[in-house]
Amino acid sequence: MAPLQFCRRKYRTLGLLGVVAVLFYLLQCISITQLGKIPGKKNKHSSQSQTLVKNMAIEDGILENDQRNIAEKIAAEHADVEENGAAARQNIDVKGNRLPGSTLSDVYRDGSDDESLQRSGSSSLVLRGVLPSDWKRYMLNKNGMFSCIAAPQVQISMDKVNDDFCDCPDSSDEPGTSACPHSKFYCTVQVPGSPPQFLHSSKVNDGICDCCDGSDEWQGALVPEFMRIGEGQPQGSVYHAPCTDRCSEIVALSRREQHLRSQGHDLQASYLRQAQTELSDYQRPNYGPNGIFYALSKQCHTLTSDQYKYEVCPFKSVTQTSDYRPPVSLGGQRSKVEMVEGQHVIEMTGGEGSLCPAGRARMSKIVLLCGLRDEVISVSESELCLYAFKMSSPAAC
């Protein structure tokens, strides 16, 4: 019995193992089937993901192109701004003074011509205080800097020109201010046919109108009240700021003087003829160029001023008389002709010395001015015992 029971138990165990094996196999098959389905879904999702990534890449590419185009556009605009800004900086400084460009045609705003530029005043100058013929000296160098005119090794930025501080050793960086001790200020309006009118830097913005257009007083400085000439007081040629444009009056006066000089010049022939006829070659130089003032010595002229009466006989004598004293000699023993500041002056010395400082002799100076007839115009005693007469004559034209 024991062997039979052993066999039954053995086969029962083997059957159970077989059943377990079959169940394990079936479970494995089911698992493989399920696993096969899952990869299929994974592939589907993977394909969708790849499509999405591809679309995003395309969109990113479009965005990159747009961004690239925008960036390029901004860069181009920035370059234009920089280029225009550089050009503007070369033509306008921080103080509103327009600066010369590469050519002189670039210096005018709104295409104004030279005549309208001069009428418009100092604010329209390429550089305030610079003579137009010298504008080219203020062009920027290749480094975009201003080179001092007499010391080109010294270079400064253009915003330091006319900034009221002296940077150049030759004072060339301050033509329009009083900062430099040796600079010259050229008036905006120049009188045609006259030498260039300029001022020493110390006269710029001092409250006195020196330029006929007042361009030297661009800052509007005023002199102290105690220094101002009161209403009704003689002012001569002194005008206080604020200045007015008097250039048209001066130009008109200059034109009248030119016309007068032309007429007077036509009358000089008779003065020269008389000197040639009556004087030797040795004597003529004593009466001016070619003896042209010799005819003035042939006549005397009288002038009444205040309580005095003056008799002027050029090259011979000058006397002063009054109701309460005898005639007094103001000069005449020795005479000579000199050129003083472009005008001929007859100097007559050897007058009386009574009541004069240290007993020195009285002296008279006759300033000769262009006129259509010979006459004494005025007299002044600039200092004690020194008399200055003004006399007109065609010989002085």
- Residue 334 inside a domain? The answer is yes
- Give the residue from 340, 347, 396, 349 showing the smallest Cα distance to 373: 396
Tell me if 334 sits within 8 A of 355, measured CB to CB.
no
pLDDT of the residue at 67: 43
Q: Is the pLDDT of residue 55 over 90?
A: no
pLDDT 10s digits, 203-213: 999 999 999 99
31 pLDDT tier (thresholds 50, 70, 90): low
- Residue 384 inside a domain? The answer is yes
pLDDT 10s digits, 73-89: 434 443 443 343 333 33
- The domain in which residue 373 lies consists of 289-396
Q: Is the pLDDT of residue 39 over 80?
A: no
Q: What is the CATH number of the domain that holds 349?
A: 2.70.130.10
Count of H-run helices and E-run strands, the chain: 3, 13
- Residue 13 inside a domain? The answer is no
Domain count, the chain: 1
Label residue 119 exposed, middle or buried (CB < 10 Å: 0-12, 13-18, 19+): middle
pLDDT of the residue at 271: 96
pLDDT 10s digits, 330-344: 998 889 999 998 899
- Residue 297 inside a domain? The answer is yes
**Mean pLDDT calculated for residue range 174-188:** 93
- Residue 355 inside a domain? The answer is yes
- Residue 309 inside a domain? The answer is yes
- Give the residue from 39, 188, 216, 18 showing the smallest Cα distance to 119: 188
- Give the residue from 179, 188, 236, 238 showing the smallest Cα distance to 213: 188
Which range among 23-27, 206-210, 240-244, 267-271 shows the weakest confidence by mean pLDDT?
Answer: 23-27
33 pLDDT tier (thresholds 50, 70, 90): low
Residue appearing with tokens 């280029």: 83
3-state secondary structure of 367: strand
- Residue 379 inside a domain? The answer is yes
- Residue 247 inside a domain? The answer is no
